[in-house]
């Protein structure tokens, strides 16, 4: 006997056992119908749970993608500032995030497929439960308890198989969702700890701080340069040493001015 | 004959196809007996592929029990073993 037949017999045996426990066959119908409605509720909750989990993963995927893009930009900025060390650090972090992303994408696809399966199971069960309700009313209206026995068995066995199948599908989806929750929680923790850049809070990371510092210090340098030039032009007498240096630096461009400055120095020297 | 694929629902399968399906099922059973994971995967995929080819979806509101039941596509060998006893079924 093959796998298919053996599995079928296991399902059948389970339905028969449940039927044997019932005393009045017609009560069986009502009791089973209640169970079916409960299972329908459960499978719908299952679909909603998987969807919630999927949306959370979706949000994390977006955050990780933004982090990765930002690190890429930082690596470029670092390179243009001549800081290969910083660029290397940014790219290493980006590689870490890419690995997380790839893993999360696989999980996301699996949750998506679980959601579809469960939603299909919910629809199939709904169709059978509706059919069972109609059959139940017909049986109760038409037959005595004794006559109804066979028909009840048939309907019960059919719906019981569907319920067993849906029950297992819910279990599988719950297992996957639990695994996902654990992973999503771990990534949230990483983000909270600052190991992953948190794009939502906009908190600054150390690479960005270093890049900002480089940016700020180069603008300080250019300010200093500008001031030196201004001072050299307007107040040469008061700071002679600096003025001499500045004059020297400018000598190539401004030979006429240098001559003028030299004369001033001479005059100062004369007056002493 | 009605055949159920777990997690997917019931298919109406012509009697003429049952023999071939049983042969493919035999390969699946051998793989499980020999604990051969690669053969198990191949056999399950082959069985399901053929089943989907020859079968058409059964009426969604039928209450007819299936004559054969096939494990779901992503079932592991351990899950199939459980299905062969009643451990795999949810109690109740």
- pLDDT tens digits in sequence order for chain A, 272 residues long: 899 999 999 999 999 888 888 777 778 889 999 999 999 999 999 999 999 999 999 999 999 999 899 999 999 999 988 889 999 999 998 998 999 899 899 989 999 999 999 999 999 999 999 999 999 999 888 887 777 788 888 889 999 999 999 999 999 999 889 888 888 888 888 777 766 654 444 456 788 888 888 887 888 888 888 989 988 888 655 555 554 544 444 444 444 544 445 454 455 444 44
User: Residue B9 forms beta bridges with which residues?
Assistant: B5
Q: pLDDT over 70 for what percent of chain B?
A: 92
Model pLDDT, residue B38: 96
* Mean pLDDT calculated for residue range B10-18: 96
Tell me if chain A has a CB within 8 Å of the CB of B28. yes
Asked whether residue B89 carries a pLDDT value surpassing 70, the answer given is: no
Structure tokens at A165: 């199948």
Instruction: Give the long-range contacts of residues A99-103, CB within 8 A, separation 24 or more.
Output: A100/A64, A100/A187, A100/A196, A101/A61, A101/A64, A101/A65, A101/A68, A103/A183
Model pLDDT, residue B36: 96
Which member of B28, B64, B69 has the closest CB to residue A8?
A: B69
Q: Best of B61, B71, B87 to disrupt the A interface by mutation (most A CBs within 10 Å)?
A: B61
Does pTM top 0.90 for this prediction? Answer: no
CB within 8 Å: A168 and B89: yes
* ipTM confidence score: 0.92
CB within 8 Å: A2 and B28: yes
Burial class (CB in 10 A: 0-12, 13-18, 19+), A209: exposed
Tell me if chain A has a CB within 8 Å of the CB of B20. no
Residues in B closer than 8 angstroms to A11, CB to CB, are 65-66, 69, 89
d(CA B78, CA B81): 5
């Amino acid at each position: 006997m093959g796998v298919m037949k053996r599995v079928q017999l296991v399902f059948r045996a389970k339905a028969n056992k449940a039927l044997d426990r019932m005393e009045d066959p017609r009560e069986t119908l009502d009791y089973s119908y209640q169970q079916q409605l409960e299972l329908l509720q459960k499978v719908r909750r299952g679909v909603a749970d998987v969807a919630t989990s999927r949306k959370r993963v979706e949000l994390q995927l977006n955050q990780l993608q933004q982090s990765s893009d930002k690190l890429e930009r930082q690596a470029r900025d670092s390179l243009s500032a001549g800081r290969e060390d910083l660029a290397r650090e940014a790219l290493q972090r980006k590689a870490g995030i890419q690995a997380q992303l790839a893993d999360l994408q696989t999980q996301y696809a699996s949750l998506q497929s679980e959601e579809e399966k469960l939603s299909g199971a919910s629809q199939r069960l709904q169709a059978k439960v509706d059919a069972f309700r109609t059959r139940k009313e017909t049986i109760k209206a038409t037959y005595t308890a004794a006559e109804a026995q066979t028909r009840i068995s048939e309907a019960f066995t059919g719906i019981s198989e569907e319920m067993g199948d849906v029950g297992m599908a819910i279990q599988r989806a719950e297992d996957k969702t639990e695994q996902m929750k654990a992973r999503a929680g771990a990534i949230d923790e990483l983000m909270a700890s600052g190991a992953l850049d948190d794009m939502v809070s906009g908190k600054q990371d150390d690479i960005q701080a270093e890049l900002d510092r480089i940016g700020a210090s180069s603008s300080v340098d250019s300010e200093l340069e500008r001031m030196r030039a201004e001072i050299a032009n307007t107040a040469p007498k008061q700071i002679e040493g600096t003025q001499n240096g500045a004059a020297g630096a400018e000598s190539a461009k401004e030979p006429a001015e240098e001559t003028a400055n030299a004369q001033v120095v001479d005059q100062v020297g004369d007056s002493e | 004959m009605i055949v159920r694929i777990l997690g997917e629902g019931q298919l109406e399968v012509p009697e003429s196809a049952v023999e071939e399906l049983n042969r493919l099922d035999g390969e699946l059973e051998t793989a499980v007996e020999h604990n051969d994971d690669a053969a198990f995967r191949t056999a399950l995929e082959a069985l399901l592929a053929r089943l989907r080819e020859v079968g058409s979806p059964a009426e969604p509101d039928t209450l007819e029990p299936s004559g054969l039941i096939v494990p779901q596509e992503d079932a592991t060998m351990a899950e199939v073993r459980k299905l062969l006893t009643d451990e795999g079924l949810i109690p109740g």
